[in-house]
Structures are given as structure tokens and as C-alpha cells.
Structure 1
């Protein structure tokens, strides 16, 4: 059997898993549950304190009762539900198959190396969703076309700002402002039968749904600190969106 050399190796692996789940958008309870499953397979017990930016983890060997504590900073979040699902499935498979340390480590490396959708596919797909929302809100095909391009340009600005490593709330403000400016042209030139629907839906791609949902699930699971942090982050994101929309409407004198 391929066994780890020390508790330090196990703690590094569990911290890597916890960090990967957090940056992918998992709630706190899922993070705690997943690493507890992996720890049980390795005959260890884990105690951890997880926040938005830091994880403190203590692991104890069930045989020797020796403990090891390590702290890890969490990198910027990047939502990826596929990673959360794969790690959750891997944790159950590890228990049923009694995986070794090496098998768990190789599986996590494999999950990390999975290809993601390119930014161009994301741009097109999200833009079509923006156009679809416009149709749901009563927009015609011309309104949907304006919503498509507004969302496309707004998301492109957001991706570019992220690449430049600007503050996250500034990124949202810039994307909201640019998307709203383009949508406002539809109102100014009276494009389509319901140009107001274009303006209302052009910034929906910025709604922090994951942060707000996780905030409530964390609060329900009594992870109060993380719940409040995520709720505050969601509110700040919504305020940044609203500021960009308000400034665009102010420039075009739209009421």
C-alpha cells in the first residue's frame, strides 16, 4: 500500500482540496464534509476553520494521536461547479474504494488539470443568455440583439479587468457601466418595441447569485462569519452594479 510519509503531507493535500472547493464556489459545509471524508479514508481526524481568505487546519492521526496544524491562504475565487461535483464524487469513491494517499492525490491533480471552457465560448454563451432574459422580459428580436451585444461587451470588459487584476468591485462597476451605456442607446434611438427590457437585462450576468445563495446556506449551517462575509460581498457587488447602471442612465438622462 502506498502510504504518506507524514501528517504534513496529508494536511497539504487536504488544504489543497479545501482551497480548491472554496475558490470554485462551494459553501462552507461542503468544504468541511469533503475533507472530513478524505481524512477518514487516511485514518485521520480533521479540525478546520475556514474563512473566505484563509483556512486553518489541524489533523490528528487516529493511531498515534499526533497532531499537525497548517494555515493556507485562499487565492481569488473563480466559480466552477464542475470541480465541486468532481471532488464530491471523488470523496465518496475514496470511502467506498478505500483509496490510498497516492490515489487521492492523483485524482485531485487530474481534476485540477481538466480543461475549462475558453473565454470566447463563455462570452458567446453568456451573451445568448442575456438575450434570452431580454425576451423573457418582453423584448423583441431587435431588443434581444442589443442585449446580446451589451452583454458581450460588458463581459469582455469584466474579463479584461480581471486580467489586469483590478479591484473586484471596480471590475463589476466598469462592466455594468459599459453594458448599460450600450443598452441605453437602444432607448435613445428607440430600437425595438421594448428597449427598457434591454437595459434591465444587460447587466444580469453580474448578479452574484453564488455568493448570496452560499451566504444563506452558511447561515443555515451556523457558519455565521462566512455567511455574513459572503452576504456583504454580494451586497457590495450589487451596489457596484447599481452604480454603473445609475451613472449610465444619468449620462443619457434616462428616467
Structure 2
């Protein structure tokens, strides 16, 4: 294998690993896909070291090593991209894709998101369903749907302007809780506490916490602790927003 070919393969493998980490894949999966893709493209072995915000990858062919480092910038959870990268790896292992095809497919990958007009009402309905499961009456469910929908609209608007995620969670929790307080102030429901609890469930960072635990269990302690710390900060930001809203509404206990 020529040096230029090894360079090209290494660049593609590390790009795939970078995308996997940026869009929320667990560390064990990143290692597995990187090694399998590299070997399918002709590398003898691939060694990868992952930290909280960077990765180092080394490829080996005929005793010749190439090491490259990439910085990781999180782009949010997107399982569509992770599944597409896994699909590219599988098709490469089967011999359907070569290096050029892998390069084309990876360069075409773009994150897709649900349209706002669908996402906002569905988030409202999901939080309203939680309120119903918690025992809320009809009016409590309606208040929850409205509060969660307003909160999700605010969250998307803030995200569009690329504000810090911690600020996003705090402001979203604050506004959502303010709207959910209608059940108290207007005495519209017999279960006024439930809308306040159910409407902010959209802010629970469940996926990052699951990934954090998975990474720590599988031996990637540094990445797991980093993800756990980030999820904890998001939770604290939400609590700050909720607390301020409750205090302003005279409901702070």
C-alpha cells in the first residue's frame, strides 16, 4: 500500500470516528466502527484513543504508522447519522464500497431534523401524556401540552441563534414553568402541580446519561465522566430556571 493511500484511508476513518462522537455514539461503538472500517479498506490495524473533546487515531500498514488528531465538537444527538455511518461500514466490509465511494458517502452526510411544525406539537402531546399517566385531569393535560409546546418553541428559537446549551435549558425551563403555573394562579385544575412537573420532562438529558453510564461500564472512564458532568450541568441549568420561575410566581417552597 502506498503512503498516499494510507493517508487517505486514515483521513476517512478518523472522519467517521469524529462524526460518530460528535453526534452522540458511545465510545465502544466508535472504536469498533473505526477498526472495522479501517481493516475493510486495507489497513492492518487501527488504534484509537478517545478523550472528552478529542480523539487520536493511529493506522498501521507494513510497519508504517500514521497518527492523526481531531477535535470533537458536539452537534447534538442524531441517530440517523450514526446509523448511516454504520451502514457505510457494513457495505465496505462486504466489498460494495471502496475508498472513493466511502469518501463520497461520508462527505454527503448532512444532519436532518424534524420540521418545527411537527416537532413542537408532538413534544407537547408527549408531555401531556406523561401528565395523564401521573393522574392529571383533562385541564391539567391541556395546560401541560400548551406549556411544553411553548417551551419547545423557545428552545428551538434559542438553538437557532447558537446560544450556549446551558443558557438554552435554563431559559426554556423558566418559560415552560411560568406557563405551567396557570393551573395555580387561575385555579383551572384540581392537580396544578402535575403540569409543572410533566411539562419540563422534555429537558431531561436521558440519552447523554445513558451514554455516560455505558462508557464508564465499558472502561471509557474519562469520556463517561465528561458526559455525565455535561448531563448534570444541563440538569442543574433546568433546575435553576424552574426555581426562578416558581419564586417569581410565589410558589417556591
TM over 0.5: yes
Which residue is equivalent to 1:21?
A: 20
Instruction: Give the whole-Å Cα distance in 1 for the aligned partners of 2:120 and 2:183.
Output: 21
Matched, 1:224 2:221: yes
Write the mapping of 1:171-210 to structure 2, written as runs, cut at 5 A.
171-210=168-207
Instruction: Give the whole-Å Cα distance in 2 for the aligned partners of 1:86 and 1:243.
Output: 37
Deviates more, 1:203-212 or 1:14-23: 14-23
SS of the equivalent of 1:97 reads: coil
Aligned with 2:165 (options 156, 164, 168) = 168
Aligned with 1:126 (options 123, 127, 132) = 123
Aligned with 1:137 (options 110, 134, 138) = 134
Instruction: Give the whole-Å Cα distance in 1 for the aligned partners of 2:79 and 2:153.
Output: 21
Instruction: Give the whole-Å Cα distance in 2 for the aligned partners of 1:134 and 1:121.
Output: 20
Instruction: Give the whole-Å Cα distance in 2 for the aligned partners of 1:90 and 1:124.
Output: 34
Q: Give the direction of change, closer, same or farther, for the CA distance of 1:237–1:71 in structure 2 (3 Å limit).
A: same
Write the mapping of 1:28-67 to structure 2, written as runs, cut at 5 A.
28-44=27-43, 45-61=45-61, 64-67=62-65
SS of the equivalent of 1:129 reads: helix
Shift of 1:216: 0.6
Equivalent residue pairs, number: 250
Structure 2 gap segments, 5+ residues each: none
Contact (CA 8 Å) 2:41, 2:92: kept in 1 or not?
A: no
Shift of 1:98: 5.7
Matched, 1:149 2:120: no
Instruction: Give the whole-Å Cα distance in 1 for the aligned partners of 2:199 and 2:111.
Output: 31
Which residue is equivalent to 1:89?
A: 87
SS of the equivalent of 1:59 reads: strand
Instruction: Give the whole-Å Cα distance in 1 for the aligned partners of 2:111 and 2:159.
Output: 22
Contact (CA 8 Å) 1:22, 1:52: kept in 2 or not?
A: no
Write the mapping of 1:66-81 to structure 2, written as runs, cut at 5 A.
66-81=64-79
Deviates more, 1:225-234 or 1:158-167: 158-167
SS of the equivalent of 1:249 reads: helix
Contact (CA 8 Å) 1:140, 1:193: kept in 2 or not?
A: yes
Shift of 1:234: 1.1
Instruction: Give the whole-Å Cα distance in 1 for the aligned partners of 2:3 and 2:204.
Output: 43
Contact (CA 8 Å) 1:41, 1:99: kept in 2 or not?
A: no
Instruction: Give the whole-Å Cα distance in 1 for the aligned partners of 2:174 and 2:180.
Output: 10
Q: Give the direction of change, closer, same or farther, for the CA distance of 1:120–1:8 in structure 2 (3 Å limit).
A: farther
Deviates more, 1:94-103 or 1:128-137: 94-103
Deviates more, 1:141-150 or 1:225-234: 141-150
Show CA shifts across 1:157-202 (max 9, x none): 2222222222211111001111011111222212223221100011
Q: What RMSD over aligned residues (CA atoms) do the two structures have, in Å?
A: 1.9
Which residue is equivalent to 2:244?
A: 247
